[in-house]
Amino acid sequence: MKAAVFREIGKPLSIEDVQLPRLESDKEVLLKVKATGVCHGDLHVIMGDWQHEVPVNTPIILGHEIIGEVVEGGTKFQKGDLVMVYNAFGCKECKHCKAGYYQFCERVKVLGVHLNGGFAEYVKVPDEDFLMRVEGNPIQLAPLADAGVTAYSATRGIKEGDKVLVVGTGAVALLAIQILKSLKAEVSVVSRNPTRLAKAEELGADHVYYRKKTFPSLYTSIVGKKFDYIIDFVGSDETLDEVAWLLDRRGELRIVGEFGGQLSIPEQLLVLRGLKVQGILYGTMDDMKGVINLYNSGKLKTLAVPYYLDEINDALNDLMQERILGRAVIIPS
């Protein structure tokens, strides 16, 4: 089968003919890949940004945001079923797994990070319990498998009337804006990308703030405003600097982006305002069900931008240069 193989940090992926995966247990399922989303996490792995925190053994096939068609294996699905892959395969035995938070399992295995993933014509899924049947266009569905789950997780618990600041306008943020509007929250968005800000406004954002490069702070244009929730989909030094000052009393900062920033909050500000800080990593299978239901109800646009497998390095370059408005999605053929 054809696959895009990650062999060396900082180098383009190699398009190669590799061996078709072979099933080795009753729980494993072979999928014919229909579409796989391209995540910023793929870029972080390729560029070596996470090599100390998330070591990756090469060569490996990346791609963890997968929609596929069942070919063989397992007992819960029929051949030809279209399925979405929940990509964090936990041990099912630890306290985190038993609570449904497989992504925090110390022994977690992620397709496209620890195991061969979806930038290929076929992918082996190690446990059919982590598959969910879906219907529709695989290209449009693919972003839900990771970006959608993460956005749904990041907005959980927010209710009507809450004032929310969304930091960033990448694919996950644009999905979160739509979810927040479905919850009837008041949504503000700050970004340095005017094209994506316009898309955020089109998707329902109540207020948008453009960060000019000449501004000393990302938040200069928002001084004086306070928010119940701030969701940072970037996570850089720039976005985390001074962000806590924009939180209202008992406000909550949720950090999703993983661009390696450092968060520093004065202790008295944290205590006297009763602030909370939460890290968001992916989501649960219930979050996946929730975002699929929201999509099926017509309340979500995934903004998929398709590329063929042979064009995957173009997709990665376009993502790195912020030329993609939405989610790049790789289709094998």
For residues 121 and 160, membership in a common domain is answered with no
Shared domain check, 275 and 307? no
Please, are residues 295 and 103 in contact by the beta-carbon 8 Å criterion? no
Is 142 inside any structural domain?
no
Residue type, 96: H
Q: Are residues 21 and 115 in the same domain?
A: yes
Number of Cβ atoms within 10 Å of the Cβ of 51: 12
The pLDDT value recorded for residue 213 is 65
139-154: per-residue pLDDT in tens? Answer: 999 999 999 999 999 9
In a domain, 284, yes or no: no
- Give the pLDDT of residue 256: 97
In a domain, 215, yes or no: yes
| Per-residue pLDDT at 305 | 98
Look at residue 300 in the predicted model and tell me its pLDDT.
97
Q: Which range marks the domain in which residue 91 is found?
A: 2-135+303-331
144 in any annotated domain: no
Instruction: Assess if residue 322 is contained within a domain.
Output: yes
Provide the pLDDT for residue 242.
86
Q: What is the distance of C-alpha 116 from the center of its chain?
A: 18
Residues 313, 275: one domain?
A: no
Total structural domains within the chain: 2
- Please, is 2 exposed, middle or buried when counting C-beta atoms within 10 Å of its C-beta (0-12, 13-18, 19+)? middle
pLDDT at 211: 79
At residue 49, the pLDDT reads 85
Please list the ranges in the chain whose pLDDT falls under 50.
none
Q: How many CB atoms lie within 10 A of CB 69?
A: 17
- My answer on whether 74 and 39 are in the same domain is yes
Q: Kindly state whether residue 287 falls inside one of the protein's structural domains.
A: no
Question: Do the domain assignments include residue 211?
Answer: yes
In a domain, 288, yes or no: no
Q: Looking at the structure, do residues 167 and 236 belong to the same domain, yes or no? A: yes
> Do 190 and 105 belong together in one domain?
no
Same domain, 225 and 327: no
319 in Cβ contact with 40 (< 8 Å): yes
pLDDT digit string (tens) for 174-217? 999 999 999 999 999 999 899 999 999 999 999 999 877 656 67
CATH number, domain containing residue 86: 3.90.180.10
- Hey, what long-range contacts does 52-59 have (CB within 8 A, 24 or more apart)? 54/113, 56/6, 56/113, 56/114, 58/6, 58/7, 58/8, 59/5, 59/6, 59/7
